[in-house]
Amino acid sequence: MLNLLKRFEHFIVLTLMMMMMIVVLLSTIELGWLLIKDIITPPVVLLEIGELLEIFGFFMLVLIGLELLETIRAYYVEHSVHAEIVIKVAMIAIARKIIILDVKDLPSLTLIGIAAIVIALSAAYYVINRLRLPARPEKDF
């Protein structure tokens, strides 16, 4: 029974990886199409602020997909979810939200909340990376 469960989990994770690969590929194609379309429409080669924000948001979305794919791959290989990868995904997602956000329309408390999320994710990422680095030996002068 345990062997069947392991094979089932293996199949599901492989299926998720394949589907995520398809989503990332299609997102990248869509991003390329969006970029080409924005470049060839008048005014040619010039992008307006709204178009730039849309393109930057799409770039971040593709990066989120890649990081999620990395999370699934890490789970497949090591059978554990790496907190560092999950935090990276969250950081990219919040960065995407910040890039496409129109701050004029938001209350200040919302902006403070977003800032708190950024600080918390940055601190968590720092701590995780700090714990992973080996201690440096002190040099005697």
d(CA 127, CA 129): 5
Q: What is the pLDDT of residues 82-131, one digit of tens each?
A: 888 889 889 988 988 888 887 888 899 999 999 999 999 999 999 998 88
Q: What is the pLDDT of residues 33-55, one digit of tens each?
A: 988 988 888 887 788 888 888 88
Residue written as tokens 């990066």? 63
For the full predicted model, state whether its pTM sits above 0.75.
no
Residue pair 99/60 in contact (Cβ under 8 Å)? The answer is yes
pLDDT exceeds 50 at position 141: no
Question: What pLDDT does residue 138 have?
Answer: 56
Residue pair 44/16 in contact (Cβ under 8 Å)? The answer is no
Residue 140 confidence class, pLDDT cut points 50, 70, 90:
low
